[in-house]
A = this chain, B = another copy of it.
Amino acid sequence: MQDKSKIGEILSTLDKDLPQALDRLMEFLRIPSVSTDPAHKDDVRQAAEWLTAELTAMGFDASVRDTPGHPMVVAHSPKGTRRPLLFYGHYDVQPVDPLNLWQRPPFEPEIQDLPEGKVIRGRGAADDKGQLMTFVEAFRAWKTVHGELPTDLVLLFEGEEESGSPSLRPFLRDNADELRAGIAMICDTSMYSDGRPAITTQLRGLYGEEIILRAADRDLHSGSFGGLAANPIQVLVNALSTVKDADGRITLPGFYDGVEELSNELRADWEDLGFDAGDFLSRVGLKHPIGEKGRTGLEMVWNRPTFEINGISGGYTGEGFKTVLPAEARAKVSFRLTGTQDPDAIRDAFRAHVRAALPEDCSVEFHPHGGSPGSRMDISDPAFAAAKSALSEEWNREAAYIGAGGSIPIAGDFKEILGMDSMLIGFGRDDDRIHSPNEKYDLESFARGARSWARILAALA
């Protein structure tokens, strides 16, 4: 039985070894593991191998596990008698474009000493390599102090989180006995604003779709055909403009089936957070919430489903002008889902909506992306209270139960396939610029994140 009282020693070890921990993180960040881009396939594998080598050196039984896509990293600490804990993170990162907006190369990370504090700058610093390494450094410090790893840990680190996790569910199914634990710890979320530690208890799901519309068999000159021939950009624009109404509500039939109103308890908690949407938006140069009428800002981002156009292209977009009716137009769109909304039903409704907008001369091709419902955790599990208390202690502030607007389908997958709940604890901040140029992770998030996990490990031992 490991000794809970050594937590003070573990925390000092983490503080003392921070420079070495940062060196390791920098090395990890220099691997351009962009999972969505086939050109980076080898880099993704290299990141998996790097992690496996780190974990093996610490005493884990770790391996790179092949899948039809990018590999998984799975590691186990020695068997013992505690409630098994699974730790999940992802080692792949988002693409970097537009590259010209980066102030330094995205895969040449550095520690920057800014007036507001030190930050780790580079692609993946916050999402999710920096967060993932808070786990790893906590385990390492435990090992240093106790001479052995905490028992009954299962680590699962994914390489396809930023590209829709196509291999994840089959992998969980095929390795269910090996991976099943008492509860899962997921480190892919943020703190509440200004350093208030938080446990995310609900997440939005995601369903995305690429749409390709085609009309003529070539690009047409608008002087010869304009006014007569179908223009696929116009058809696409017409279809996409009517998915939401003037009040920001989505018009697809049955879309809101399964969307749940907040419980009074959570509504009260969220109000207590004092969220100011205008202030939140001002960090990215905006001021005015544009979402569904009659909803609070936190509801808009945490508890209400959305429709967003993530990309659109068609026709001539280079220098100068070309008066063309293009042969095709494309868009990538996505829905964030809440409650028990069914991604399959929404896919059908969306496709029917697009098809209904097509004139006879247009054809459409759909390529789905993702497709996972939202998740809500059962916070009556005592592990939640224990973790909340450990977090409050580390940060000297009452930790909060919050929601998240993003999609971490893994939480739903753990529930469905492995029958376990998840605790979503992360130390990201809203200004981390994840998925954008100049991503960063606060040094404080990294250092106190690792300390937080050490405390949570101790509390759950």
Contact = CB atoms under 8 A, between A and B. Distances in A.
A38 B318 CA distance: 11
Interface string A142-180: 000000000000000000000110000000000000000
Contact of A308 (B215, B231, B318): B231
A297 interface: yes
B301 A323 contact: no
B297 A323 contact: no
A277 B360 CA distance: 14
B310 A315 contact: yes
A258 to B, nearest CB: 17
Nearest to A367: B321
B317 A220 contact: no
Contact of A312 (B223, B313, B325, B434): B313
Contacts of A228: 277, 280-281, 289-291, 297, 300-301
A240 interface: yes
A218 B310 contact: no
A306 to B, nearest CB: 4
Interface stretch (A128-136, A326-334, A453-461): A326-334
A347 interface: no
Contact of A310 (B163, B297, B316, B438): B316
Interface stretch (A10-18, A93-101, A265-273, A348-356): A93-101
A224 B244 CA distance: 19
A330 B315 CA distance: 12
Contact of A323 (B208, B280, B317, B319): B208
A175 to B, nearest CB: 25
B204 A321 contact: no
